[in-house]
Amino acid sequence: MNTLQAWLKKYYRTLAAVTLLVFIFLVSIAQNYLLFHTLVELFSIIVAFAVFTVTWNSRKMLDSNYLYFQGIAYLFIGVLDLLHTITFKGMNIIDDQIYYSNQFWVATRFLEATALVVGFTFIHRKRRINVDATFIAYLVVTTLIICSILVWENFPICFIDGVGQTAFKIYAEYTIIAILFVGLFLLKKNRQHFEPSIFRSLCLSICFAILTEFCFTLYVSNYSASNAVGHCAKLLAFFFTYKAVVEKGFINPTTLIFKNLSDSEQNYRTLSENLPVLIFRFDEKGKCIYANKAVQELTGHTPDLPSCQNVYNLGLPANFAEGIEDLLEKARESKAEQQLDFSFDANRHYALKVIPEYTSGLMGFSYLVISYDITQLKINEKALQDLNSTKDKFFSIIAHDLKSPFTSILAYSDLIAKNTQKFSPPKLEQMALTIRRAAQNAFGLLENLLSWSRLQTGALLPKPELIDVRHLILEHIELLSPISIIKDIQIEMAEDTVGLVNADKQMLSTVLRNLTSNAVKFSHTNSKVVIRAVPQDDTILFSVSDNGTGIPEQLIDRLFKMESSFTTIGTENEKGSGLGLILCKDFVEKSDGKIWVESTLNVGTTFYFSIPAANT
């Protein structure tokens, strides 16, 4: 019921107009059939000329080739319908004994139906059809039709007095019906090119045209009931053509003329409103005339544009509004596109772009401002820089640090091989120790490189197991004793060491090995390195302490960064790569821990790292 009421409320004017028209023409038919026929045909002729008038006068703006093609056709359809009217039996204007009227009827309906179908071949063309060629083509066809009927009289006979319609006339009507059905199908297939109300009106127009043609396959006299019904159907067909083109052309011309433009505007508005970027438009004076939904999400409220005299009234963060205003000022001066990257704070980054646009409606320039979040882009950019630095560092280690130990090994082994008899046993022992130290450095570096490489590629994953830290440290001290003996350095485990961790044993051993090797490297002869592990809250806190050279304060922050890592010479000229501490940091973090250092120059250094304690 509510649906019916809504429909009546929306279409009551159309319904009233149709009812009035039908009533007038029924009254006229009751009085005089010739009057009825003349009124119906005059109405259709007026509509046809009106369709042409609207189309022709909007030809420079109309963006629908289909309506354009159809509109021109209706001028000639009107002309032929006028000839059909004045040659109708009883008009006594032209000899009506030959039934020219029936011939003009068939020719006109063929032209109308054909124009309907052919028009769809132009509907997808972006390029406007040639108005002159179209007009001339219709003019030639119409002229040929008129000449074939009135001059040459070679148009097939359509009606014979006392017999009725000829076979040609009946088959022609069915052919026209078939063409109209094709037109209806093509109309529905291309409905996206028409505004809904125009589409509905055109559909109804074609349906009533089909009914008209069907009625005209049945009559036996120009004054028969089926002829009258057919003309009533034609009346309604042209009424809905009027609704689709003429009424829309005057009441709401943009619906007809700028259908594609309106659709494009709506599409771009929808796109603008749903893009995850901030979009503004400012006039020449700096007043905001458009802001999309993303602005509302940023500010937490819908901007009151009429009262927004400048960017500061939009409720944007002050520094962001100031950045937009500065960029707008530059764009006003240069009338050129401006852009910059802007940071709200250390964690949020935006790109700002101002595009000047000449707008005739505003009699000057407007300024399109687009701003989008580039925080992730900045993060990725920083990550890429770090990866490049890491790559460069990695290749530097391979090219230089890994090469140096082998240079020493090759040099000393070559000397020994060629001059064994010339060297004393103590000298040979010293050279052997140097070779061993170089081999150990190369092996340690290679081990670190392989472990770090596997970690970066994801090939090395933690395999946690329950570890007694006291036993692990004792094993570790025993393995490192050859290194410490060379420098006469004592590696000890603190007495209070105790605890259990659930961690990857290989990773934990690598961390301890690297930290202890560094401690030995930077400790003086006859000194001590202490390893401790004690419970602290829910973790086990490890520490490796030495009384060596210490680390300058300004270098501490660079210790665990691949892109800024550095190497220094040990107390006995031992060399390193800087990779060990990077590896330690990665392994500790893989174990859900953290690592840090405390150091005093020329006093000593303590490296700390914590690993979650095992649940017992």
Same domain, 233 and 288: no
Is 447 inside any structural domain?
Answer: yes
Give the tokens for residue 45: 């002729």
pLDDT at 501 over 80: yes
Is 311 inside any structural domain?
Answer: yes
Q: What's the CATH number where 292 sits? A: 3.30.450.20
Q: In angstroms, what CA-CA distances link 579 with 160, 466, 515, 592?
A: 108, 28, 11, 20
What residues does 500 pair with on adjacent strands?
A: 468
pLDDT tens-place string over residues 116-170: 999 888 877 777 788 889 999 999 999 999 999 999 989 999 988 878 889 999 9
Distance CA 573, CA 575 (A): 6
Same domain, 480 and 513: yes
The residue-averaged pLDDT of 221-242 equals 84
pLDDT at 342 over 70: yes
Give a three-class secondary structure readout of 121-161. HHCCCCCCCCHHHHHHHHHHHHHHHHHHHHHCCCCCCCEEC
The residue-averaged pLDDT of 15-24 equals 70
Nearest-10 crossing angle of helices 425-457, 579-590: 40
Is 343 inside any structural domain?
Answer: yes
What residues does 343 pair with on adjacent strands?
A: 349
pLDDT at 440 over 80: no
Distance CA 545, CA 561 (A): 21
Confidence of residue 411 (pLDDT cuts 50, 70, 90): confident
Distance CA 119, CA 102 (A): 26
| 3-class secondary structure, 422 | helix
| 3-class secondary structure, 63 | coil
Residues contacting 573, CB < 8 A, separation 6+? none
Same domain, 182 and 210: yes
pLDDT at 565 over 70: no
Same domain, 490 and 578: yes
CB 38 within 8 A of CB 81: no
Query: Which of these ranges, 59-68, 124-133, 542-551, has the smallest mean pLDDT?
Result: 59-68
Q: What's the CATH number where 547 sits? A: 3.30.565.10
- Residue-level pLDDT at 8: 64
Confidence of residue 198 (pLDDT cuts 50, 70, 90): confident
- Other beta carbons less than 10 A from residue 550's beta carbon: 15
pLDDT tens-place string over residues 65-124: 777 788 899 999 999 999 999 988 888 877 655 678 999 999 999 999 999 999 888 877
| 3-class secondary structure, 54 | helix
Query: Which of these ranges, 143-147, 367-371, 493-497, 577-581, has the smallest mean pLDDT?
Result: 577-581
Residues contacting 541, CB < 8 A, separation 6+? 533, 534, 535, 608, 609, 610
Distance CA 30, CA 87 (A): 22
Q: In angstroms, what CA-CA distances link 490 with 206, 372, 428, 528, 562?
A: 104, 60, 26, 5, 31
- Residue-level pLDDT at 19: 75
510: left (phi over 0), alpha (psi -120 to 50) or beta: alpha
Same domain, 218 and 197: yes
pLDDT at 18 over 80: no
Same domain, 473 and 428: yes
Same domain, 233 and 301: no
User: Domain range for residue 545?
Assistant: 382-612
pLDDT at 581 over 90: no
pLDDT at 400 over 60: no
**What whole-number percentage of the chain has pLDDT above 70?**
80
Same domain, 298 and 400: no
Which amino acid belongs to residue 572? E
**What whole-number percentage of the chain has pLDDT above 90?**
23
Is 8 inside any structural domain?
Answer: no
Residue appearing with tokens 């529905």 = 188
pLDDT at 362 over 50: no
Count how many domains the chain has: 3
CB 175 within 8 A of CB 112: no
Same domain, 312 and 412: no
Same domain, 45 and 161: yes
Distance CA 258, CA 280 (A): 25
- Residue-level pLDDT at 61: 64
pLDDT at 425 over 60: yes
pLDDT tens-place string over residues 302-332: 777 766 777 878 878 778 888 888 888 888 8
Query: Which of these ranges, 109-123, 295-309, 340-354, 495-509, has the smallest mean pLDDT?
Result: 295-309
| 3-class secondary structure, 37 | helix
Q: Nearest-CA neighbor of 529 among 473, 583, 582, 572? A: 473
Residues contacting 508, CB < 8 A, separation 6+? 467, 472, 501, 587, 591, 611
Output Rg (C-alpha) for the chain, integer angstroms: 47
Q: Nearest-CA neighbor of 449 among 438, 463, 460, 435? A: 460
Phi, psi of 517, deg, nearest 5: -60, -40
Distance CA 78, CA 89 (A): 19
Give the tokens for residue 578: 């800087």
The residue-averaged pLDDT of 223-230 equals 82
Same domain, 319 and 356: yes
Give the tokens for residue 6: 């809504």
The residue-averaged pLDDT of 384-406 equals 65
Name which residue leads in pLDDT, 121 or 383.
Answer: 121
Please tell me the number of Cα atoms within 13 Å of 366 on its side-chain side.
15
Mean pLDDT of the chain: 81
Q: What's the CATH number where 126 sits? A: 1.20.1070
Contacts of residues 162-167 at CB distance under 8 Å and 24 or more positions apart, as own/partner, are 164/219, 164/220, 164/221, 165/102, 165/217, 165/219, 165/220
- Residue-level pLDDT at 596: 93
pLDDT at 246 over 80: no
Same domain, 546 and 491: yes
Last residue of a domain, one of 324, 348, 373: 373
The residue-averaged pLDDT of 435-457 equals 70
- Residue-level pLDDT at 265: 67
Give all strands of the β-sheet with 490-493 in edge-to-edge order: 490-493, 528-536, 539-546, 604-612, 594-600
The residue-averaged pLDDT of 350-368 equals 75
Residues contacting 559, CB < 8 A, separation 6+? 551, 565, 581, 597
Is 420 inside any structural domain?
Answer: yes
Contacts of residues 180-184 at CB distance under 8 Å and 24 or more positions apart, as own/partner, are 180/113, 180/116, 180/206, 180/209, 180/210, 180/213, 181/210, 182/117, 183/113, 183/116, 183/117, 183/120, 184/210
The residue-averaged pLDDT of 166-185 equals 94
Q: What is the DSSP letter of 614?
A: P
Q: What is the DSSP letter of 340?
A: E
Is 517 inside any structural domain?
Answer: yes
Is 328 inside any structural domain?
Answer: yes
pLDDT at 562 over 70: no
Which pTM was predicted? 0.50
DSSP for 297-323 reads HHHSS---GGG--SGGGG---HHHHHH
Q: Which of 6-20, 27-41, 261-275 has the highest mean pLDDT?
A: 27-41
Distance CA 261, CA 245 (A): 17
The residue-averaged pLDDT of 225-240 equals 86
Name which residue leads in pLDDT, 124 or 603.
Answer: 603
Last residue of a domain, one of 341, 373, 405: 373
Confidence of residue 35 (pLDDT cuts 50, 70, 90): confident
pLDDT at 609 over 90: yes
Name which residue leads in pLDDT, 379 or 456.
Answer: 379
Confidence of residue 371 (pLDDT cuts 50, 70, 90): confident
Last residue of a domain, one of 322, 340, 373: 373
Is 262 inside any structural domain?
Answer: no
pLDDT at 29 over 70: no
